[in-house]
Structure 1
């Protein structure tokens, strides 16, 4: 979308340029996926780290920081529980991805 925003809106072939940009991005992803031997494992490592961080941990931390004095005990306990679950799931996912990468490198 960022690349498509660089195209002037009054350009008559902006739809055609959008198709070329998206096709180029898909093809470059395909080339990288085929050329990097552990691309799927690296993506699972990144996903296990960043997905839990962005979806579970950071929203609760921001909520607790922004509403520091207005948070009830129940809300704080729920946020701490969600943060703990996110950290545990992230640790297990990261360990699993790293162990698969090491196993692939050895064998």
Structure 2
């Protein structure tokens, strides 16, 4: 929530005094809006876990793939093996997490 709150705080015009009251109001409204969304959407936790497990693949695998493609031929075998290990573990974890999240969502719907 902090990056969103800081971005919103920067939108306050400079002629207004940037006091702690604006910060408290912005952060409180963000937390309350998140609470309303979480309570109003059924299976919010399961949908969040599905998104998180499917996006984990991008966060873990993509940097390693880019590192291997950019520095091809300039890195040691140890670095290649660590990147391949991270790619394999990230892929397996993402597949298992996505599968279990989808399975839980289907079980809740039935």
TM range, smaller chain = 0.7 to 0.9
Provide Cα deviations, 1:19-75, integer angstroms capped at 9, x if missing partner: 111111111110011100110000111111123421x21221121122223112221
CA gap of 1:98–1:71, structure 2 versus 1, over 3 A, is same
SS of residue matched to 1:69:
coil
Equivalent of 1:4 in 9, 12, 15 = 9
Q: Is the 8 A contact 2:56 2:90 kept in 1?
A: no
Structure 2 portions without partners, runs of 5+: 1-5
Alignment of 1:62 with 2:62, yes or no, is no
TM-score relative to the length of structure 1:
0.87
Structure 1 portions without partners, runs of 5+: none
Q: Is the 8 A contact 1:8 1:14 kept in 2?
A: no
| CA–CA separation in structure 2 for the residues paired with 1:88 and 1:39 | 24
| CA–CA separation in structure 2 for the residues paired with 1:50 and 1:14 | 37
Alignment of 1:101 with 2:108, yes or no, is no
| CA–CA separation in structure 2 for the residues paired with 1:7 and 1:78 | 46
Question: How big is the alpha-carbon RMSD for the aligned residues of Structure 1 and Structure 2?
Answer: 1.6
How many corresponding residue pairs? 105
Deviation of 1:4 (Å): 1.6
Deviation of 1:10 (Å): 6.0
After TM superposition, which residue ranges in structure 1, 4 or more long, deviate above 4 angstroms?
A: none
